[in-house]
Each structure stands twice: as structure tokens, then as C-alpha cells.
């Protein structure tokens, strides 16, 4: 009974303190500018509040009022939580303090990521969203000791797909508080915007993002870099000339024409440098074909082009960053629809390399279009081939949304991808490529290969990878099954619910790592 008036007294004191430092004019309130500052958790129980450098400087300018307000406003600020104060500064109408966890946080081998970077992304995201909900249009962000991670948290956390809604989220402009880490901040903005491009493409309805629309969108986004980038939108006639029978067999069930999107980013000063080839599955809608999917949840199959979205977005980002590396992006784009022309279970089709495939399940279509794209990828004498695809529900069952499954024939390539994922926090996990699985896809009654393997329910992600391996001769190849990370509910705190755009930032960081090796 005694706690209520006591709490009322404290909150009243907070309000009085908020107004004391400055006499705030009406014009200042109209400006509506926010500031996000970081606070670390106490390492010991008797420690005092530990601000970031920017927050400490800000508090010093207020003669310690911010520290005082934080102390009396409630319990210690926990990791990822936020607290807002009004009117404490003449320039900022709203000041948000965000919990960064312990200052000693570092790379965690068990979690396979950098806890410090992840804490910053989550905290900054929470602070920016709070200000967005209050419709604060301009926000400055504390670098929190890692401006790139802070920028990623701000850009990723504020994204919400509302293209077709009349009522949209308030637009928020974010910028770095201070200028000492401007370069790292801009890099983080580009990383975040790259992933948001993939999220936008994946989230958009399939009647808008057709193969042609997808290709045109990427071409437009790459237009500012035309001195370094060449875009080829290959039509069906070209696909037929290339004898990509597996790809064509999937696309023929739809009224939408297929497109084979080919991107060339020439960032290396050495034009003879072997390129990194990125291949993305581009099924802009997957009904399952004749092997029709259940209607429940089928709407999410608008994002079955997530592989193409992440690959193409990573190339857009690499171009914006001016990475000194050569990258080729390949995206076979089509719909998988049921019709009188569609693949039928039991059909046999011929891939670009001459191998025949018995199509026992038309819903295992991603591996068919990737088979031809992987064959074509070899024509560029690549340094490495990495393909990304929302390939199997079995991958989601195996790893959920914790990490992208990686199947690779190269220890070097695995090491590079794993190292990149630790930095981005968008993790990868290595999966097996045993001959055990190869035997299951090569044991086919009518053709060289079967598209679902001998035991369709057992090791589905592994047999799909084994199938793709039949179209690879390159010594450095990796298949990223991103089905489990396709969408986000609440698992990644700095991403809102919806399509995730993962692992775009990991692909960009991986490409950047290759620059260091050159």
C-alpha cells in the first residue's frame, strides 16, 4: 500500500528533473529530434552506471543530470531494453538510453558470433523503434563503440514493408551522433540497406514481383554503378539456346516468361582476377506445381526467390561499397505453377550438362533451375561458386532460424563463410555432403538422377545438396540452404516480423574478405 505514493513521488521527480536543465521553447518541440545513447550493464553489483563515451560526454554537458535521471527512474537498464527521457536537452526533445549488455562482451565461440556487435544492433534498433513510434522524424545514434553495427541496427530495425498500406510507418532519418566513425557508419548503412532490399523483394506480393519485375528492379538499383556493372536479362530464347532443359521444365507451367538474370560487377583493378560467382534460386512464386502445396502458408512462397534476392542485393551492396573484387551473379527467375504444360511427376528432363533427371516431385523445383545455373557458372572459371536457395523445408526442421545450412566441398570456402558470419551475426552452420546421400539421388528408375532421392523424407536437405553437387566440378563450391532463415518472427531482435533478407550481409562480408586475400 505504501509503494504507490512513493512511486508517484519518484516519477514526479523524474518529470521535474527532465524540465530543469533547459527552458525549452515551442520551436524546439516542433523540431522533434531524438538521440539514442548506450549504457552498459554493471560488471559488479556495486559498480556505478557505465555510459558509452558519447553518453558520458552528453551527461557531462548536463552536469550529471542524465545519470541521475537513469538512477531514479527504475532498475538498472538490461541488455536490449530502452528508457526515454523528455526535455533534458535543448537540441533533443527525446533522449533514449539503450542497454548494451556488458562492456566485456566479445566473440563467443559457442554462439559463433560477436556478442558485442549483436548487443549493439539489438539495442540501437530498440531505441530507434521507440522514437519511430513517437513519430520523431530525425534521430542521432551513439556509435556505441562500433558505428557499423549501430548503423546496421538502426537501418534494419526501422524497416517495415508497407508498400500497399494507406497508413504507413513514420519515416525516420538516422545519422551518426558525432563524426569520429563516419566511415564505419556509412558502411553499416549500406550493409543494412542491402539486406532491406532483399527483404523488400521477398516480402512483396508475387503478382507484383514477377521474374521480369525482379530483373528490372535489380537493373535499376545497379544503374548508378554502370561503369562497373553490366546487367544481362536473358530471355527464354537464350535459355533454350543454352539447353537449360531443367530450368525450362519448371518455367513452362506459368504464363509469366522466365528470365535468366546475369550480373557482372568488375570491382577489381585486375581484370584477369577470377570472379566469385553467386547463384540464387529465383522462384518468384512456388505453388508446388502439379505436386501442389497445401494452401495454408502458401502465400509465404512469394519469398521462394530469397536466394536470388540475397545474391542480387549483395552485389548491389558490393558495388555501393566499391569492393575491389570481381563478382558474377546468376539468378534463374520463373514461377512454379500447375497447368497443362507443367512438369508431371515421373517426367524426365535433360539439364545443361547432359544429365537426365526424373522429376518425381514437381515441388522439388529449386534444384532443377539451380542445376542449369550451376553448370553455366563454371564457364567463368570462377575462384569460387556459392549458391543460395530456400531449398528445403527439411533445412528449417534441422536448424530452424538459428543459422543458414552450408554444404560445401571446400574447407577453405567454409572457413571464409564462417568467419564472415561471426562478424555479421547472421550465422552459418556446416552440414554433411556424404556419398551416402549421393547414392540416394543417383538411384533412379528412369534417368541419371532423381530429383527427390530414394527416401524423400529422410535427410531432405542433405539429398538436395547431393543432387546439386552432381552439377558441380569446381573445387570451391558451397550451397547455402536458407529456408530456415527465410522469415523472422521474433528470433532476431533487430528485425521486425516478416521476410528476413538473410544472409545478405554475410555474403557481402564474405566477398569483402576475399578482397583481403587477393
Residues 291, 224 within the same domain: yes
Q: What's the pLDDT score for residue 170?
A: 87
- What are the b/e assignments for 15-36, b being 16+ CB within 10 Å? eebbeebeebeeebeeebbbbb
* pLDDT, position 342: 98
And the C-alpha cell for 178? 558525432
| pLDDT, position 106 | 95
Same domain, 173 and 221: no
Closest listed residue to residue 244, CA positions, set 256, 258, 231, 230: 258
Write down the pLDDT at residue 180: 87
CATH number of the domain where residue 221 is located: 3.40.630.10
Q: Does residue 110 lie in a domain region?
A: yes
Query: Is 490 inside any structural domain?
Result: yes
Residue 240 lies in a domain: yes
Residues 165 and 280 reside in one and the same domain: no
337 in the same domain as 297? yes
Task: Note whether residue 27 is domain-resident.
Answer: yes
- Residue 20's pLDDT is what? 37
Q: Which of 79, 233, 367, 502 is catalytic?
A: 367
- The answer to whether the CB of 318 falls within 8 A of the CB of 371 is no
Choose, from 42, 65, 293, 419, the residue flagged as catalytic. 293
Query: Nearest-CA neighbor of 300 among 398, 205, 196, 402?
Result: 205
Residue 271, pLDDT score: 84
Within-domain flag for 145: yes
In a domain, 241, yes or no: yes
Number of domains in the chain: 2
- Does residue 208 share a domain with residue 174? no
pLDDT digits (tens, 9 = 90+) for 216-260: 999 999 999 999 999 999 999 999 999 999 999 999 999 999 999
Range of the domain at 111: 22-180
Give the CA dihedral 461, 483, 425, 158, nearest 10 degrees: 180
Together in a domain, 169 and 208: no
Neighbour count for residue 298 (Cβ, 10 Å): 14
Note whether 424 and 514 are within 8 A (CB): no
User: Which element (helix H / strand E) includes 163?
Assistant: none
Q: CA 406, CA 92: separation in Å to the nearest integer?
A: 46
- Nearest CA among 332, 137, 135, 170 for reference residue 251: 332
- Residue 317's SS3 state is helix
For residue 416, tell me if it sits in a domain: yes
The answer on 346 and 235 residing in a single domain is yes
How many Cα atoms within 13 Å fall on the side-chain side of residue 348?
A: 9
Q: Is residue 310 located within the same domain as residue 453?
A: yes
Are 174 and 279 found together in one domain?
A: no
**How confident is the model at residue 31, as a pLDDT?**
59
Query: Are 438 and 473 in the same domain?
Result: yes
Q: Is 4 domain-assigned?
A: no
Q: Are residues 332 and 456 in the same domain?
A: yes
Show the low-confidence residues of the chain (pLDDT under 50).
1-30
The radius of gyration of the chain from alpha carbons, rounded to an integer in Å, stands at 25
Tell me if residue 367 is catalytic.
Answer: yes
Q: Are 204 and 196 in contact (CB under 8 A)?
A: no
Question: Is 293 an active-site residue?
Answer: yes
Q: Are residues 161 and 222 in the same domain?
A: no
Amino acid at each position: 500500500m505504501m509503494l504507490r505514493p512513493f512511486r508517484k513521488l519518484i516519477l514526479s521527480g523524474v518529470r521535474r528533473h527532465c524540465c530543469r536543465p533547459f527552458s525549452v521553447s515551442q520551436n524546439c518541440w516542433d523540431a522533434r529530434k531524438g538521440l539514442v545513447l548506450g549504457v552498459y550493464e554493471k560488471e559488479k553489483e556495486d559498480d556505478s552506471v557505465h555510459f558509452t563515451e558519447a553518453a558520458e560526454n552528453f551527461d557531462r554537458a548536463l552536469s550529471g543530470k542524465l545519470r541521475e535521471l537513469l538512477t531514479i527512474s527504475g532498475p538498472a537498464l538490461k541488455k536490449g531494453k530502452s528508457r526515454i527521457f523528455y526535455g533534458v536537452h535543448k537540441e533533443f526533445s527525446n533522449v533514449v538510453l539503450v542497454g548494451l549488455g556488458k562492456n566485456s562482451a566479445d566473440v563467443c565461440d559457442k554462439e559463433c558470433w560477436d556478442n558485442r556487435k549483436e548487443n549493439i544492433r539489438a539495442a540501437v534498433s530498440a531505441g530507434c523503434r521507440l522514437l519511430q513510434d513517437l513519430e520523431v522524424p530525425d534521430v542521432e545514434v551513439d556509435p556505441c563503440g562500433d558505428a557499423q553495427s549501430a548503423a546496421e541496427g538502426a537501418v534494419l530495425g526501422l524497416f517495415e514493408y508497407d508498400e500497399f498500406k494507406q497508413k504507413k510507418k513514420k519515416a525516420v532519418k538516422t545519422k551518426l551522433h558525432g563524426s569520429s566513425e563516419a566511415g564505419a557508419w556509412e558502411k553499416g548503412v549500406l550493409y543494412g540497406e542491402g539486406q532491406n532490399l532483399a527483404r523488400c523483394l521477398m516480402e512483396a506480393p508475387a503478382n507484383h514481383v514477377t521474374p521480369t519485375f525482379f530483373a528490372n528492379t535489380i537493373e535499376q538499383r545497379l544503374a548508378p554503378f554502370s561503369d562497373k556493372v553490366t546487367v544481362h536479362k536473358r530471355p527464354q530464347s537464350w535459355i533454350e539456346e543454352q539447353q537449360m532443359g531443367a530450368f525450362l521444365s519448371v518455367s513452362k507451367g506459368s504464363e509469366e516468361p522466365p528470365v535468366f538474370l546475369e550480373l557482372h560487377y568488375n570491382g577489381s583493378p585486375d581484370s584477369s582476377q577470377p570472379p566469385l560467382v553467386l547463384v540464387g534460386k529465383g522462384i518468384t512464386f512456388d505453388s508446388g506445381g502439379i505436386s501442389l502445396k497445401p494452401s495454408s502458408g502458401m502465400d509465404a512462397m512469394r519469398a521462394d526467390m530469397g536466394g536470388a534476392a540475397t545474391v542480387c542485393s549483395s552485389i548491389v551492396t558490393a558495388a555501393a561499397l566499391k569492393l575491389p573484387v570481381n563478382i558474377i551473379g546468376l539468378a534463374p527467375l520463373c514461377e512454379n505453377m500447375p497447368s497443362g504444360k507443367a512438369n508431371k511427376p515421373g517426367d524426365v528432363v535433360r539439364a545443361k550438362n547432359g544429365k537426365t533427371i526424373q522429376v518425381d516431385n514437381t515441388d522439388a523445383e529449386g534444384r532443377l533451375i539451380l542445376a542449369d545455373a550451376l553448370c553455366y557458372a563454371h564457364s567463368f572459371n570462377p575462384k569460387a561458386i556459392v549458391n543460395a536457395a530456400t531449398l528445403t523445408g527439411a533445412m528449417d526442421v534441422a536448424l530452424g532460424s538459428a543459422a543458414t545450412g552450408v554444404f560445401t566441398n571446400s574447407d577453405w570456402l567454409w572457413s571464409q563463410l564462417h568467419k564472415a558470419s561471426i562478424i555479421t551475426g547472421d550465422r552459418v552452420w556446416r552440414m554433411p555432403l556424404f556419398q551416402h546421400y549421393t547414392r540416394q539421388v543417383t538411384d533412379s528408375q528412369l534417368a541419371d538422377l532423381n530429383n527427390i532421392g530414394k527416401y524423400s523424407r529422410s535427410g531432405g536437405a542433405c539429398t538436395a545438396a547431393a543432387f546439386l553437387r552432381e552439377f558441380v566440378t569446381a573445387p570451391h563450391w558451397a550451397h547455402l540452404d536458407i529456408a530456415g532463415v527465410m522469415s523472422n518472427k521474433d528470433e532476431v531482435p533487430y528485425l521486425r516480423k516478416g521476410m528476413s533478407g538473410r544472409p545478405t550481409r554475410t555474403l557481402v562480408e564474405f566477398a569483402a574478405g576475399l578482397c583481403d586475400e587477393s
